[in-house]
Amino acid sequence: MQAPPKLSVTTKQYHALCAVCNVFVPPVNQPNGNDDTSFWQLKASDTQVPHHILELVAQLPPAEQSEIKQLLTLLASPLFGLTCFKGLKSINAMPFKQRETALQSWSGSRFVTLRKAFNALRKLTTFIHYGISHIGHDNPNWKHLKYPGPISAPPQLPKPMQPFFPPNDLQLTADVVVIGSGAGGGLAAGMLAQAGYEVIVLEKGDYLSPSDLNQREVEMIQRTFEQKGALTTADGGVSVFAGSCLGGGTTVNWTAAIPTPDYILQEWATQHQLPHLLTTHYQHSMKAVMEAAGVTQSESNHNIQNRYLWRGSEMLGNTPKVVPRNVSGCNATNEGKSCGYCCLGGCQANNKNSTLKTWLQQAYQHGAKIMTHATAQKIKVKKGKVIGVEAIQHHPSGRTHSISIKAPLVVLAAGALHTPALLLKSGIRHPHIGQHLYLHPTVLVSGYYPQVVNPWFGAMISSINDTDAHLEGHFGARIETPPIHPGLWAMAAPWHSAIQHKSYMLKIAHSANLIVLTRDKFGGSVQLNSKGFPVLSYPVHHLTVKHLLVGIEKAARILLATGAEEVTFPHHVFRHVTHNTTETALKKFFAQMPEWGWKSGQFSLFSAHQMGTCRMGADAKTHPLNPQGEVNGVKGLFVADASALPAASGVNPMMSIMALSHYTIKQLIASGK
């Protein structure tokens, strides 16, 4: 592949970018004489953060590139000073303390655009500074953070599949085109190919096998996530992590394989008129996908973070549960350590039973053409029936080819973000296409212990506290554990000042981290901008915030109960409590949390789950898909991904997506289409 381009900016814009990056991570006089001077003196430009930001932004859609250029123009202009009450001064014309207070003012600004700008620059700078590394050159921060970096080299094994790259523009024919290869698409391809269909799979992302997985955080995330891991909602309030590689989210997720709760199925069956979800036929689909993914609780061994979650939950009088995982042989791998790295592009030991290893491999063995770096541009429809797909494929040589495929069946499984976008680009209309975007909004709460935790080792999720999952009906909060690596942790950790953030980075090896995940009732939307790219709008509803706050308090109490000396919170105004905080003071602290301010950009909010934007249901006026998974008004066009879920699943959605897709494809095959 060719080297990635770098965004073209003026000298003034580049100097402004360097200045702002070096505010978030500057050289500072060490506050503690026992600390290594080299860590405190290391600044963002020393790790080439500005260069890497320009490289990353150059690969984003045009709208995002334009926003960053406008932001850099503002920073380089004297008008910047007016945004933070410093007079007519560019950021380069200010001394360091003024720069820092200026950006702090953006963090708490009443203008959402300034909060968005602050968060974009903060996240990019800290993620790259603490996460970037190259073969033979580990990140200079890691030795100070006690982070080991890659713990094993990629195995030198041949790739199990060879993607199809035609040398020229090409016209193809197939029985069915599957667009997307994740939990729904990969499964659909495997089932259809095994049933004798001639299948072509279009995946716009890369194909990484174990031999490609070098366990380097920034590189792996940028190769396997949507928009290189930099995707956010339109107002910047939610960082959205969506898999964009062969195998989709199943390749990079955290291995939690939780079946759809019965009460959720009951809700979907009644509110969306889908009675088949309560039948034995649907139960057979869930059983089939659980077996294919090798889902088990026997390999849900708890690392230290999960042990704290388990023990702390019990100390609070709650009953934690074991999280089943789709892994085989994981416990035996490197004493369980490498489990914590399989979110970085996939599992080196090939123990994760993603669609890459299961359904897609099955499709390939039955003759399916797997096309990576292939982006569907339009679904072709004639007289209300699918006739094929137009796509482009980026060849490893750098050339781009047009691919035209004739097919009477299309299974659209591009995910909850791109499925509605592709339908709209193809001229397929329904008032609810792109609506009802559910994200399971998630925040991080961190505890710091006197003993070493090493949160990057071990099973990423093996325990869960769902005591508060039903705060109001079937809506509430769950508490789980995340994988921890320095780049993502740096962007999630609160940044109030340079010294504060650097000080807490040094505590990462002693941190245990919990995530609070909510089931959202009021979703957002996916729409197309003028260039045809999807734009995510997601207003954070006050009910979601209410449930998050309940979960945040519970997570903090779990950490304190298990011996944390300090707990920090996901708010941009730095807040913390310690083990010496009295119960009276704790109650007052938590009672005041709603007053902190929880608008978009005022706290770090994340999502790794996207659902519902092309929901299935019996009422054709309010549901783009009929109960068979077919798009209303378009024969032969089926949807088999997270967008088809009628509402938020409430739990990690992989198995919900797979079961619904399995049932849809099973009915499609049985119909003889």
- Whole-number average pLDDT of the chain: 95
Looking at the structure, tell me whether residues 125 and 188 fall in a common domain. Answer: no
With residue 568 as reference, give the H or E element that holds it.
Answer: strand 566-568
Confirm whether 339 is domain-assigned.
Answer: yes
Task: At 521, give phi and psi (nearest 5°).
Answer: -100, -30
**How many structural domains does the chain have?**
2
User: Do 334 and 404 belong together in one domain?
Assistant: yes
Q: Are residues 213 and 282 in the same domain?
A: yes
Range of the domain at 92: 1-140
Looking at the fold, whether 198 and 248 belong to one and the same domain comes out as yes
Residue 332 reports pLDDT greater than 80? no
Q: Residue 343's domain is classified under what CATH number? A: 3.50.50.60
Q: In this structure, is residue 151 part of a structural domain?
A: no
Task: Clarify whether residues 331 and 183 are in a common domain.
Answer: yes
pLDDT digits (tens, 9 = 90+) for 257-279: 999 999 999 999 999 999 999 99
pLDDT for 428 beyond 50 = yes
Helix (H, G, I), strand (E, B) or coil at 492: helix
For the stretch 29-59, pLDDT in tens is 876 655 567 899 999 999 999 999 999 999 9
The verdict on 174 and 136 lying in the same domain is: no
Query: Distance (Å, rounded) from C-alpha 559 to C-alpha 570?
Result: 15
Tell me: do 124 and 225 sit in the same domain.
no
Are residue 135 and residue 198 in the same domain, yes or no?
A: no
pLDDT of 671 > 70? The answer is: yes
Q: How far apart are alpha carbons 442 and 517 in whole angstroms?
A: 5
Q: How many residues does the chain have?
A: 673
pLDDT in tens, 379-408: 999 999 999 999 999 988 889 999 999 999
514 within domain boundaries: no
179 with 40, same domain: the answer is: no
What is the per-residue pLDDT across 548-570, written as a single tens digit (0 to 9) for each?
A: 999 999 999 999 999 999 999 99
Residue 350: is its pLDDT beyond 80?
yes
- Predicted pLDDT of residue 1: 40
Contacts of 339 (CB under 8 A, 6+ apart): 255, 303, 327, 330, 333, 457, 458, 459, 460
pLDDT of the residue at 157: 92
More confident residue, 31 or 294: 294
Residue 617's CB is within 10 A of a number of other CB atoms, namely: 22
**Mean pLDDT score, 505-529:** 97
SS (H, E, C) 531-565: CCCEEEECCCCHHHHHHHHHHHHHHHHHHHHCCCC
Q: Rounded to two decimals, what is the model's pTM?
A: 0.95
* 594 is a domain residue: no
Q: Percent of the chain having pLDDT more than 70?
A: 97
Same structural domain for residues 97 and 229? no
- Whether residues 1 and 91 share a domain: the answer is yes
649-663: average pLDDT: 98
Among the listed residues 546, 479, 474, the one whose alpha carbon sits nearest the alpha carbon of residue 318? 479
pLDDT tens, position by position, 198-254? 999 999 999 999 999 999 999 999 999 999 999 999 999 999 999 999 999 999 999
196 and 117, same structural domain? no
Q: Write the pLDDT tens digit of every residue in 569-587.
A: 999 889 999 999 999 999 9
